[in-house]
Amino acid sequence: MEEIIEEEKKTVLVVDDEVTIVELLKHHLELEGYNVLEANDGLTGLEIALNERPNLILLDIMLPKLDGLSVCKRIKNIYNVPILMITAKDTEIDKILGLELGADDYVTKPFSTRELMARVKANLRKYDAVLLESLEEKKQEEQGKKQPENKIVVGDITLDLDKFEVKIKGEVIDLTLREFEVLKFLAMQTGQIVTREELLEKVWGYEYYGDIRTVDVTVRRIREKIEKDTTAPKRLVTKRGIGYYLAAD
């Protein structure tokens, strides 16, 4: 099953109103072996995304007819696909990785096509891994094999690794897939400080490329959901100048 997923030719949808950028991205994506779909406005991009179900979407924020943030949110409400937002403003980062939006990553114009291709590959690998895990669970269920509970408990936080679900004192906390993966990685080594660079490599899959701010923004969003007081976090703690850790108590 894993070999089939790896060999399958992936489809990437590029949504940008700048034709030159679309052509540039299309050229490099095709060189990497991807099928490429194109759209120059938000409504067309949304329609193609929902009809064609591409494996990944590169989505500009500033789009005619329907802005990229709205497109992202509508797509994520219907099906789970890695979405990389393209922005000309650093100040948009918080919105891109926002609570309800669910975008997986972002790149800022002007961007390096080499870096962008690395991020495309990393996000596709991550989603393939999640898909394989889900398929294996379904296979086990169909065979009638009862699996032991696959959970991690840290203090009053419970992570259900099969359902990709987090509960605090029994209450379900709504996390995006990326937020769940960050919390899971920290929970698997409770009390151990993890650097931002390690999170970027292990969770995002970026060995050489990536913006550390992506980690900081994502951690901040998780805290907004699991902490009573984000100014004095008790669960997801910062070790200044080093990284983060999940406290046992």
Contact 154, 246 (CB under 8 A): yes
Count: domains in the chain: 2
Of the chain, the end-to-end C-alpha distance in Å amounts to: 40
Boundary of a domain, candidates 82, 99, 130: 130
Residues 72 and 153 in one domain: no
Residues 111 and 165 in one domain: no
Instruction: For residue 108, tell me if it sits in a domain.
Output: yes
Q: Show pLDDT as tens, one digit a residue, over the chain (249 residues).
A: 444 444 578 999 999 999 999 999 999 999 999 999 999 999 999 999 999 999 999 999 889 999 998 999 899 888 888 899 888 876 666 666 654 577 888 888 888 888 889 889 888 887 777 667 666 666 666 666 555 568 888 888 999 988 888 998 888 988 888 889 999 999 999 999 999 988 988 888 776 566 778 888 889 889 999 998 888 889 999 988 889 999 986
Residues 165 and 237 in one domain: yes
CATH of the domain at 30: 3.40.50.2300
The CA distance from 159 to 236, in Å, is 14
Instruction: For residue 137, tell me if it sits in a domain.
Output: no
Q: What angle do CA 81, 207, 129 make, to 5 degrees?
A: 35
Residues 18 and 122 in one domain: yes
Residues 158 and 233 in one domain: yes
Question: Phi/psi of residue 58, each to 5°?
Answer: -100, 115
Res 147: pLDDT: 53
Q: What angle do CA 183, 185, 189 make, to 5 degrees?
A: 110
Instruction: For residue 171, tell me if it sits in a domain.
Output: yes
CATH of the domain at 168: 1.10.10.10
Residues 109 and 156 in one domain: no
Res 35: pLDDT: 95
Res 94: pLDDT: 65
Instruction: For residue 15, tell me if it sits in a domain.
Output: yes
Domain that holds residue 67: 2-130
Residues 53 and 157 in one domain: no
- 227 Cβ contact partners less than 8 Å away, ≥ 6 residues apart: 233, 234, 235, 236
Contact 14, 30 (CB under 8 A): no
Res 4: pLDDT: 41
> Which letter does DSSP use for residue 10 in this model?
P
Residues 126 and 6 in one domain: yes
Q: In which element (H, E) is residue 38 found?
A: strand 35-39
Instruction: For residue 138, tell me if it sits in a domain.
Output: no
Res 205: pLDDT: 77
Residues 186 and 104 in one domain: no
Instruction: For residue 141, tell me if it sits in a domain.
Output: no
pTM greater than the 0.85 cutoff = no
Residues 111 and 169 in one domain: no
Residues 102 and 176 in one domain: no
Residues 10 and 91 in one domain: yes
For residue 83, give Cα distances in angstroms to 75, 102, 175, 243: 9, 8, 16, 26
Q: In which element (H, E) is residue 160 found?
A: strand 157-160
Residue 111: CB atoms within 10 A of its CB come to 15
Res 89: pLDDT: 72
